[in-house]
Amino acid sequence: MPLMRGRKSGWRGVLAGVGLMLLLTFIGGFGVVWMTLPPAHETLVLPGLSAPVTIRFDLDGVPHIRAAADRDAAVALGYVHARDRMFQMELMRRVASGRLSEIVGVATLPLDRSMRTLGLARLAQADYAALPHETKEILEAYARGVNAWIGARGRFAALESVALGAPEPWQPVDSLLWAKTMGLWLSQNYRTELSRLALSGTVPQPLIDELWRGDPPDRHAAMMPDPALAAAARLATTLPHFPDAYTQPASASNEWAVDGAHSASGAPLLAGDPHLAFGFPGLWYLVRMDTPTGTLAGATGPGVPFLVIGHNGHIAWTFTTTGADVQDVFIEPPEAAAGFTVRQEVLRVRGQAPETLTIRESRHGPIISDLNPASGRILAVAMANLQPQDTAAAGLHALNRARSVAEAGIAASSISAPVQNLLVADRSHIGRFVTGRIPIRRAGDGSVPVPGDGSYDWVGWATGDALPHVTDPPGGRLVNANERIAPPDFPVFLGRDWFGDWRARRINALLDAAPRHQAADFVRMQMDTHSTFAAQVLPTLRAVPIAPGVARQAQALLRTWSGDMRREDPQPLIFNLWVAQFDQDVLQRAGIGPGHGGPVPDFVGFLLSPQGAHWCGGDCTPMLAQALETAVARNTARFGADPAQWRWGEAHQAIFAHPLLRAVPVIGPLTTLSIPSPGDDSTLNRGGTNAAMDSVHGASFRAVFDLSDLDAALFMIAPGQSGHLLRWHARDLLRRWRDGDTITLGREPASVTATIELVP
């Protein structure tokens, strides 16, 4: 018995020791997490301020900043950006600089090699040196605010930094990288060129021309069916592209405005909702800043000291992507290699030895074929946003200070990249301007890679008033949802490939439905889920003969469906699965693999017209029938054998995932938010899908402005303000965003939940 008591006592001691260790580990872990959380109230001394700055956070975690000078407000913005989104900012600059593998490891080396080859960080240094003094002052003030947070917190500046190390000090030039990456991802024509080249020689040229529903090709730039070139062009499948992490879709956003004659208030109304990749945290951060020079309220991008979309008390503005062609691939002659600029850069990789990357550049641009040298051919890429004298920061700074539509138009000409449709309203006028620089080509239409012998070189730029612009149109409205912005005979060649007008048609139809509108009407329009694409092709799908069985049951559900992509209905799921399968089958029949097609609605809409039937052998009916059979058979295991019980929202979950941690076991699910959502890629309430039908890009920010009272402007972001995985403000807006709720950023927050005092 004494021996047994001794053993029991020993085991009790061991268990007590283990329990104590677990308790201490828990307490230690809790302590670490607690140290990464921002305090509810703090006072911080920051030398260099001209006067104290007050920051008050409202119930939604939105900071309201009051400062005596614009530079002081920029310091405060840098501080709150770092407080709430430091790791997001760190990822942004590491991705743009090709330095992600330093903290991640070998998995991100392909992305780092691509970004180092393009040289965004190196170019930003030169651009920064040439910026106006007043813009540099704001960038420097912002960096001081960011570094105040880093200096005070060190390794605890963000939860992720506890494991990955303290962020390096923020440099003013780092803020230029945000626009650099946007200019890259929102202008993806070079990938389309590479895809066309990869298909040449194996797919008939007329079919290649029809893949992207644009203008007829310029035969002066006809591609050469050279197997070696096609092999080199397959690097398109290895280059980063959406929906890969850290990338963006090329087609993005809605915007529309009406003048005072068409609004209930008698002042213009403006709505904007940029469609970009969903993420956790989201891309946007709401803020209101008040200084003696004015107000700035709306969406900022963490890492940038300027307001990207919003109002300044005088004007309101938003952006959509134009789809203009500002990238060209050049096939360099072998003898040109002797004149290339060559540099070597060292890529540090977590967990393994550094890698030395040799980067070559021709007079056209970086040699991208070195990233995947499948043949001896040399491919260089010219990109507008890689050219010298990028003044995007100065242009956005000028837009923030503009007091009228006319002044905003002047600022637009200074926003050198990306090329966007800037929609602006003041209290009396509405206008739309195109930002950026459009290359003027000596020959060709920019749709395919061309010889680098000089015959297709860029010989100048079209900017400002030379680009499409309109003020106070006779109809009293301006609309853009990524459709083409100028007729084919416009004096400046803007590009060959254009996105369809599915969403723009719906916007115009809803505007036509009433003579006058108010802000709430525009909010409802942003949540609209009717698909003009579905309405167009449904008669054809309903007429397809389907054999008895589950597929016919699925088709029957479409007979009275209007095309509304509501999350509680089965029809949107049936429709999208059917269309996606049909698109895949047609491309496969033509010998076209994944990643080489154009936008699905545009291409399928063409296939189901009389002009596109030859892709199916003259009649698409048999392929449509087989596609539905295949789609239903592949998805009954996932959704059940009764299509009437399927639900769009069950498949179409809006996914907001941490770009780095989402793939980590155990942690990944904690860093991924999802919510059943309506809409699809063709609706105003956009929910662009991946292969699994997840909603992966759309309007994570929405805004509606009535110019009669800009303090009553309506905003919403998703999933929340904070980037801290364990804070409620990281996810508290997700359901409200999905359901169409809005918030205002008035002069005074209704309730104050946290405060910061910055004193000189």
Sequential DSSP letters for 440-462? EESSS-SSS-EESSSTT-EEEEE
Question: Which segment of 212-221, 471-480, 538-547, 699-708 scores lowest on mean pLDDT?
Answer: 212-221
Radius of gyration over every alpha carbon of the chain, rounded to an integer in angstroms? 27
Say how far apart CA 497 and CA 129 lie, in whole Å. 35
Return the higher-pLDDT residue of 214 and 188: 188
Closest among 30, 285, 23 to 162, alpha carbons compared: 30
Average per-residue pLDDT for the chain: 91
For 51, the 3-state DSSP assignment is coil
On whether the CB atoms of residues 345 and 357 are closer than 8 A, the answer is yes
Model pTM score: 0.94
User: Which residue has better confidence, 243 or 489?
Assistant: 489
* Cβ(243)–Cβ(473) below 8 Å: no
Out of 144-158, 289-303, 658-672, pick the least confident: 658-672
Confidence at 163, pLDDT banded by 50, 70, 90: confident
For the segment 451-465, the average pLDDT, to the nearest whole number, is: 95
Q: Tokens standing for 569?
A: 């209905």
DSSP symbol at 263: B
Task: Report the distance separating Cα 346 and Cα 357, nearest Å.
Answer: 6
Mean pLDDT (whole number) for 716-720:
98
First to last CA, the chain: 74
Cβ(275)–Cβ(698) below 8 Å: yes
pLDDT at 622 over 70: yes
Residue 604: C-alpha distances to residues 415, 416, 512, 687 (Å) = 35, 35, 27, 18
Residue with structure tokens 């612009």? 469
For 28-67, b/e burial (b = at least 16 CB within 10 A) is eeeeeeeebebeeeeeeebeebeeebebbbbebbbbbbbb
Q: Is 162 exposed, middle or buried (0-12, 13-18, 19+ CB in 10 A)?
A: middle
User: Residue 373: its pLDDT value, please?
Assistant: 76
CB atoms within 10 A of CB 214: 22
Taking only the tens place, the pLDDT of each residue in 322-362 is 999 999 999 999 999 999 999 999 999 999 999 999 999 99
pLDDT of residue 588 exceeding 70 = yes
Main-chain phi, psi angles of 345, to 5 degrees:
-125, 145
**Could you identify the residue written with the tokens 């597929």?**
551
**H-assigned helices in 62-100:** 70-97
Q: How many CB atoms lie within 10 A of CB 647?
A: 17
The yes-or-no verdict on residue 251 having pLDDT over 90 is: no
Report DSSP state, residue 223.
P
- Give CA angle at 149 (146, 152), nearest 5°: 145
Identity of the residue numbered 34? W
Helix (H) or strand (E) holding 655: strand 653-657
Question: Which residue has better confidence, 242 or 111?
Answer: 111
Q: What is the pLDDT of residue 231?
A: 67
Q: Which residues contact 519 (CB under 8 A, 6 or more apart)?
A: 269, 704, 705, 706, 712, 714
748 band by pLDDT with thresholds 50, 70 and 90? very high
More confident residue, 660 or 171: 171
At 115, the amino acid letter reads M
* Residue labelled with tokens 């828990």: 26
CB-based contact 741:60 (threshold 8 Å): no
The DSSP secondary-structure symbol of 130 reads T
193 falls in which pLDDT band (50, 70, 90)?
confident
- Give the model's pLDDT for residue 692: 92
- Rounded Cα distance between 457 and 195, Å, is 21
Task: Give mean pLDDT, residues 33-48.
Answer: 91
Residue 697 has pLDDT above 90, yes or no: yes
Residues 626, 628, 632: CA angle, nearest 5 degrees: 120
Strand partners, 290: 66, 295
- Tell whether the model's pLDDT for residue 419 goes beyond 50: yes
The single residue listed with the structure tokens 């803007």 is 494
The pairing of beta strand 687-689 with beta strand 285-291? unpaired
Measured CA to CA, the distance from residue 565 to residue 575 in angstroms comes to 9
Q: How far apart are CA 373 and CA 369, in angstroms?
A: 6
Helix (H, G, I), strand (E, B) or coil at 64: strand
> Which tokens belong to 169?
């000090």
Question: Residues 264, 518: contact at Cβ < 8 Å?
Answer: yes
Checking if the pLDDT of 23 tops 50, the result is no
Q: Is the pLDDT of residue 274 over 90?
A: yes
HSE-up (13 A, CA, CB side) for residue 496:
22
Confidence of residue 189 (pLDDT cuts 50, 70, 90): confident
Separation CA 431–CA 417 (nearest Å): 19
As a whole number of angstroms, the distance between CA 406 and CA 410 comes to: 7
Of 119-128, 216-225, 490-499, 559-568, which range is least confident? 216-225
Local structure of 153: helix, strand or coil? helix
CB atoms within 10 A of CB 496: 22
Spatial CA neighbour of 316 closest among 604, 597, 519, 458: 519
Would you list the domain boundaries of the chain? 2-36, 534-672
Which segments of 430-471 does DSSP mark as H helices, in order? Answer: none
Whether the per-residue pLDDT at 12 is higher than 60: the answer is: no
Tell me which amino acid residue 590 is.
A
| Per-residue model confidence (pLDDT) at position 22 | 43
Measured distance CA(52)–CA(54) in Å, rounded? 7
- Residue 428 pLDDT > 80, yes or no? yes
Residue pair 190/329 in contact by the 8 Å Cβ criterion: yes
Residue 255 · residue 319 · CB < 8 Å: yes
- Give the whole-number percent of the chain exceeding pLDDT 90: 79
Give the model's confidence band at 20: pLDDT under 50 very low, under 70 low, under 90 confident, else very high. very low
Higher pLDDT, 25 or 753: 753
Let me know: does 39 contact 753? Beta carbons within 8 Å.
no
Listing DSSP states for 296-358 in one string gives EEEEE-TT-SSEEEEE-SS-EEEEEE-----EEEEEE-GGGGGG-EEEEEEEEETTEEEEEEE
Can you tell me the mean pLDDT for 35-58? 95
Residue 26's pLDDT is: 43
- Tokens 């003579």: give the residue: 515
pLDDT at position 230 over 60: yes
H/E element holding 446? none
Beta bridge partners of 256: 271, 479
Query: Coil, helix or strand for 579?
Result: helix
Q: Three-state SS for 432?
A: strand
- The answer to whether domain 534-672 has CATH 1.10.1400.10 is yes
Mean pLDDT of all residues in 271-295: 97
Give the pLDDT of residue 674.
Answer: 96
Would you state the structure tokens that stand for residue 697, as one six-digit string? Answer: 């890009």
**DSSP 3-state of 206:** helix
In this model, does residue 3 exceed pLDDT 50? no
C-alpha to C-alpha distances, 611 to 588, 605, 617, nearest whole angstrom: 19, 10, 12
Indicate the range of 218-222, 405-409, 650-654, 735-739 predicted with least confidence: 218-222
Q: Does position 516 have pLDDT exceeding 60, yes or no?
A: yes
Query: Measured in whole angstroms, how far is the alpha carbon of residue 504 from the centre of its chain?
Result: 19
Given a contact cutoff of 8 angstroms between Cβ atoms, the answer to whether 746 and 41 are in contact is no
Asked if 686 contacts 676 with a C-beta cutoff of 8 angstroms, the reply is no
Neighbour count for residue 323 (Cβ, 10 Å): 24
Q: pLDDT value at position 211?
A: 87
